[in-house]
Amino acid sequence: MNVSLILIILLVGAFATYIAGDKLASKVALFFGIAALGCSVVLLNHFNLGENISFLSQWINQPHVSFSLNADGLSMAMVLLTAALTPIIIFTSFGTEHKNAKAFYALILFMSFAMVGTFLAADGLLYYIFWELSLIPIYFIALIWGNGDAEERKKAVVKFFIYTLAGSLFMLVAFIYLYQKAGSFLIEDLYKLNLSATEQLWIFLAFFLAYAIKIPIIPFHTWQANVYQKAPAVGTMLLSGIMLKMGLYSVIRWQLPIAPLAAKEYMNIFIALGIAGVIYGSIVALRQKDLKKLLAYSSLAHVGLIAAGTYTLTIDGLRGAVLQMIAHGFVVVGLFFVSEIIYRRYATGTIAEMGGIRTQSPKFASMFMILVLASVALPTTFNFVGEFTVLYSLSQINVWFAILGGTTIILGAYYMLKMYQQVMLGETNTKAFADVSLNEGLALVLIIALLFFFGLYPKPITDLITPSLENIIKVINRA
Amino acid sequence: MNTLIAIIGLGVLCLLFEIFELRKAIVPVTILGLLAVLGLDASEFNAPEAYYNNMIIVTKFSSAFSGLFIILTIFLVALGHKFYENQPSKISDFIAIKVFLLAGAVAMVSFGNLAMFFLGIEVLSIALYILAASSRLSLKSNEAGLKYFLMGSFASGIILFGICLIYGAMGTFDVTEISEMSRSAELPVWFPIGIALVTIGMFFKIAAVPFHFWAPDVYEGAPALTTALMSTLAKVVAIATLYKLITVMNAEISEGFQHVIVIISMASMTVGNIMALRQVNVKRMLAFSGISHAGFMIMTLLSTTNAAGTLLYYTSAYALAGIAAFSVILYVCKNTENEDVTNFHGLGKTNPLLAAILTAALLSMAGIPIFAGFFAKMVLFTQTIQAGFIALVIVAVINSIISVGYYFKLILAMYTKEPNETRTGTPVVIYAVAVVAIVLNIALGMFPSLVLDLLAS
């Protein structure tokens, strides 16, 4: 039994969903999503027992490319995040009617397939293929099933596609260059390379372009808010919940260990860029009038902090970053689902048109409140664990980084609570607002339960990721 | 050699069928015949041999490319069944011309003598001139044919002049002898000039910048099926022949020549892509896209020792995607006056299968994984970096990004616009050709070693 099984389940699921037809598509997709989750939990068990669940097979002879999937703690954590969020995301869309549902759900599973592949791939070219492959489904999901004016949506989505493709093509050139040096795309061979400082700098920058656009780190973030707003809720959740974690994961897995000298030399610049994202995102979020855009900028602020954590090159920074990646994945999916629930009832994303919802729907109001508090890292939630580990690691580098990075919590609390006040409180809204349905409530409760569980007991995840992060730190410090 | 004879025999058979009033059988018989020829070609793959005083030399290179040409011709002949249904009396001519064109193409990649090379290129070109002008009552088609003929014969003249200079320098037409003599320290000055002239003539046939001006007009004016042929088969034949010419005749490729190749390659990609961004006519857009792909293919000339497999892979990926795209264009623009993007509006709703195929074909041309176009570019970039031309690769990468702009214009038109007309009828042949071509493309993408290792020495 090895990790390729998850990929097979998701790919077969995508085809099965398409064949099942419009009526059954959502249920078939949910079934395969849960099957993939079950499979990854079983695999995790095998992994924890010390079994080898990696997969390696020759693929292309010339150039030398292998189909190599490697599962260590870090990969498994990310795979579990994807496998857990995919069924939740599919489940949240049960309340919305989608035209051509079979294609819609098939694309979600296909995207999940590509993202799991990205997290598992241990061969540079294979990784690159999965990385690019994940772009195509999200492009069509946002383009065809998105909201708002078609022309504007087209512009936003095409900009997103060309931006990300442009970034990743330079990463491809970097990989080809590395291949010339190492004679193989396999990650362990690339780790062994001893490149000169100049070579490392160029490779580091080529990788950075790809990841900074995907994460996004300012100044490469301009595609983000528009695409988040225009994409359907499911697309936004996939993008913010999982896809941007691909960028952060890749920084830890590929960029830092392959070009450690450049990473050490210019560490402060990249941490500063991340922190600049925190402050910029928070301030812009303050001024947003659209709920989804506000959440998009708040997401920009949070991932800026995570990116800063990864570039500290300390075990605490990496561990905090990974914890926060997982926590942010859940909370952001929850928040975008909340905005979708409001959109279903009011058909608007403008904050000014909401207000006074709390009295009509107490259950919804309390769940929304918990998510808001989790997103501003309230102690006992998972986000607290991640965010404070990252801030601690920043303070070890330079206390000012920690102070400036800490503004995410202060500013975050300000704009999130202000938003909550405008959306939920005030005089009772004249338009009726039905409280959450069973399906909606179930999804939200699930997310909240996970956030609290791991907030109080993060040990299983830290135990899972720490050994592999220590290995990566060892590789970074090899020279 | 047997392949070549069999192809010519098949062409004659086509003409005979006309005499005996068996027009309906022409297309199926030709396809079956071509499949048999493909088998014959495969049997020659491992048996390199020279015929008629080295006039024709069958090598792995020539058999592999002949195989690709035959497959492309099968697709094009199959599409002809529907395309010429309004002109039943002329179908034998059209099909026979295509088969003879194939004979020229095969002669071009298996020549051992420059006379044979020129013969091949003329057989191919004259067939193309006729096909470009084959829509007799259309002004545009006549214009395209005449333009192509004038420019093409000029290029042929330059090639012939180059051959004469090479003969003057070396005293022989035989490429193996020329190759041996080119190793000697003192080369007559006519030799490099001759090579340069032949190369210029071939660049014209490939439509590389700055010899590309005929391409957009001819592609737009010619009947759609002829455009399909020119942008897939004819282009692939020309680049394969150029590659063979350069590698077979010169022992060493001079640095100056490499600089020229780098500049022409960069110029072709950039000009082709930037011009393509502004086109509204799909045939014209694909003409410019073809110019930019020519720029990519020329990159193989920089690493002549081991790029044959890469070239075969790149041309297969490009041509298969082209065939798939053109079969969709043939379907969509069957009854329309022009091939503007507006005709493709809403194809995603009215005909999801063909829209998906066209999307896949365009994604392959743009170089998105898992389609063959991605590996084609990847392997090409790997080889070019190995040869030490990293700047060229960076220009190529930037061009790949630009190309996404216009490929996606078409994809957006299919999926975001409302359909403006309903199309009826489901021509089985077009579906079959499009599906088979795109499946082959994806299969090449999943198992690139099948083709890449074919020509490894």
Residue B258 inside a domain? The answer is no
Query: Which pLDDT score, from 0 to 100, does residue A186 have?
Result: 92
Is residue A381 within 8 A of residue A452, CB to CB? The reply is: yes
- Residue predicted with more confidence, B38 or A424: B38
CB-based contact B381 A140, cutoff 8 Å: no
* Neighbouring C-beta atoms of residue B150, cutoff 10 Å: 12
Residue of A nearest to B448 (CA): A60
Q: How many residue pairs bridge chain A and chain B with CB atoms within 8 Å of each other?
A: 75
- Pair B303, B444 in one domain: yes
Q: Is the pLDDT of residue B457 over 70?
A: no
Domain final residue, candidates B225, B252, B279: B252
Parallel, antiparallel, or unpaired for β A55-60 and B49-51? Answer: unpaired
C-alpha to C-alpha distance for A277 and A404, rounded to whole angstroms: 11
- CB contact (8 A) between residue A162 and residue B448: no
- Look at residue B311 and tell me whether its pLDDT is greater than 90: yes
Mean pLDDT, residues A210-214 taken together: 93
**Which pLDDT does position A408 carry in this prediction?**
83
Residues of B in contact with A133 (CB under 8 A): 369-370
Which chain B residue lies closest to A103 (C-alpha atoms)? B352
In the block, residue with structure tokens 């037809």: A21
| Preferred mutation among A100, A110, A129 to probe B, highest tally of B CBs within 10 A | A129
Higher pLDDT, B416 or B78: B78
- pLDDT, tens digit (0-9, with 9 covering 90-100), for A10-28: 999 999 999 998 888 999 9
Same domain, B188 and B311: no
Q: What is the pLDDT of residue A107?
A: 94
Rounded to 5 degrees, φ, ψ at B187 are -95, 140
Q: Give which of A77, A206, A56 is closest to A123, Cα–Cα.
A: A56
B443, B327: one domain: yes
Q: Are residues B247 and B279 in the same domain?
A: no
Closest-CA residue of chain A to B399: A166
What are A308-354's pLDDT values in tens digits?
A: 999 999 999 999 999 999 999 999 999 999 999 998 888 888 888 88
Q: Which are the contacts of A68, defined by CB distance < 8 A and separation ≥ 6? A: A54, A55, A56, A57, A121, A122, A123, A126, A186, A187
Both B225 and B274 in one domain: the answer is no
B401·A166 Cβ contact <8 A? yes
Give the residue from A444, A449, A221 showing the smallest Cα distance to A335. A444
User: How far is the C-alpha of B313 from the C-alpha of A60, rounded, in Å?
Assistant: 13
- Facing A63 at nearest CB: one of B382, B400, B412: B382
Residue B260 resides in a domain? no
* Among candidate residues B199, B228, B252, the one where a domain is terminated: B252
Of A267, A280, A194, A258, the closest CA to residue A476 belongs to: A258
- Enter the DSSP assignment of B418: P
Kindly indicate the confidence band of residue A378, based on its pLDDT and cuts at 50, 70 and 90. Answer: confident
Q: Which of B394, B400, B452 faces A62 most closely, judged by CB atoms?
A: B452
Q: What are phi and psi of A55, to 5 degrees?
A: -140, 130
In whole angstroms, how far apart are CA A405 and each of A276, A285, A298, A331, A390?
9, 16, 13, 19, 9
Residue contact A176–B379, C-beta within 8 A: no
The answer to whether the CB atoms of B416 and A140 lie below 8 A apart is no
Smallest Cα distance from A460 to chain B, Å: 36
3-state class (DSSP) for residue A474 = helix
Average pLDDT for residues B325-331, to the nearest whole number? Answer: 92
Cα(B131)–Cα(A194) distance, rounded to whole angstroms? 58
C-alpha torsion A263→A264→A265→A269, nearest 10: 70
Q: Which residues of A touch B368 (CB under 8 A)?
A: 132, 135-136, 165
C-beta separation of A435 from A364 below 8 A? yes
Element (H, E) at B290: helix B282-298
The tens digit of pLDDT for each residue in A147-173 reads: 878 888 888 999 999 999 999 999 999
**Contact at CB, A176 and B408, closer than 8 angstroms:** no
Which positions in chain B touch A154 (Cβ < 8 Å)?
412, 416
In chain B, % of residues over pLDDT 70: 98
Q: Are residues B213 and B348 in the same domain?
A: no
Helix axes A382-397, A315-346, angle to 10 degrees: 140
pLDDT of residue B80: 87
Q: Examine residue B262 and state whether it is found in any structural domain, yes or no.
A: no
Q: Are A455 and A381 in contact (CB under 8 A)?
A: yes
DSSP state of B138: -
**Residues contacting residue A273 through CB under 8 Å, at least 6 positions apart:** A212, A217, A218, A304, A307
Helix (H) or strand (E) holding B10: helix B2-19
Judge whether B174 lies within some domain.
yes
**pLDDT at residue B424, as a whole number:** 67
Compute the average pLDDT of residues B311-335.
92
Q: For residue A479, what pLDDT is reported? A: 66
Answer yes or no: do B238 and B291 share one domain: no
Identify all chain A residues contacting B449, using CB atoms and an 8 Å cutoff.
59-62
Smallest Cα distance from B403 to chain A, Å: 10
CB A321 within 8 A of CB A252: yes
User: Within this chain, do residues B150 and B71 fall inside the same structural domain, yes or no?
Assistant: yes
Enter the tokens of residue A141: 């999901």
Give the best residue of B347, B349, B397 to mutate against chain A (max A CB count within 10 A): B397
Does B99 map to a domain? yes
Lowest mean pLDDT among A429-438, A452-461, B35-44, B268-277: A429-438
Query: Do residues B203 and B147 share a domain?
Result: yes
Span A121-141, pLDDT tens digits = 999 999 999 999 999 999 999
Contacts of A203 in chain B (CB under 8 A): none
Q: Do B240 and B285 share a structural domain?
A: no
B224 and B283 Cβ atoms separated by less than 8 Å: yes
> Counting Cβ atoms within 10 Å, is residue B188 exposed (0-12), middle (13-18) or buried (19+)?
middle
Same-domain check for residues B162 and B220: yes
- Across B14-33, average pLDDT: 87
Place of tokens 């599919």: A90
Query: Cα distance from A180 to chain B (closest Cα, Å)?
Result: 7
| Section A174-196 average pLDDT | 90
Question: Stretch B39-68: mean pLDDT, rounded?
Answer: 91
For an interface test with B, which of A7, A58, A60, A151 has the most B Cβ atoms less than 10 Å from its Cβ? A60
- The encoded tokens of residue B386 equal 């190995």
B259 within a domain of the structure (yes/no) = no
Asked whether residue B286 falls in the same domain as residue B245, the answer is: no
For an interface test with A, the pick among B404, B407, B442, B451 (most A C-beta atoms closer than 10 Å) comes out as B404
Tell me what the pLDDT averaged over chain B comes to: 90
Domain total for chain B?
A: 2
Summarize pLDDT for A75-87 with one digit per residue, the tens. Answer: 999 999 999 999 9
Angle at A48 between CA A47 and CA A51, to 5 degrees: 45
In angstroms, the CA A93 to CA A84 distance is 15
Query: What's phi and psi for B302, nearest 5 deg?
Result: -85, -20
Q: Pairing relation of β-strands A55-60 and A65-69?
A: antiparallel
Tokens of B255: 């640095």
Report the distance separating Cα B173 and Cα A243, nearest Å: 60
The number of beta carbons lying within 10 Å of the beta carbon of residue A58 is 11
**Which residues form the domain of B42?**
1-252
Number of other CB atoms surrounding residue B271 within 10 Å: 18
ipTM value for the complex? 0.88
Per the domain annotation, does B216 fall within a domain? Answer: yes
Q: Which residues of B touch A (CB under 8 A)?
A: 309, 348, 363, 368-370, 374-375, 378-379, 381-382, 385-386, 390, 393-394, 397, 400-401, 404-405, 408, 412, 415-416, 448-449, 452-453, 456
Check whether the bond before A458 is cis (ω within 30° of 0). Answer: no
- Mean pLDDT, to the nearest integer, of A252-257? 93
Q: Which of B33, B22, B41, B30 is nearest to B78 (CA)?
A: B30
What residue of B is the nearest CA neighbor of A184?
Answer: B382
CB contact under 8 A, A162 and B404: yes
Domain boundary among B197, B227, B252: B252
Is B167 a member of any domain?
Answer: yes
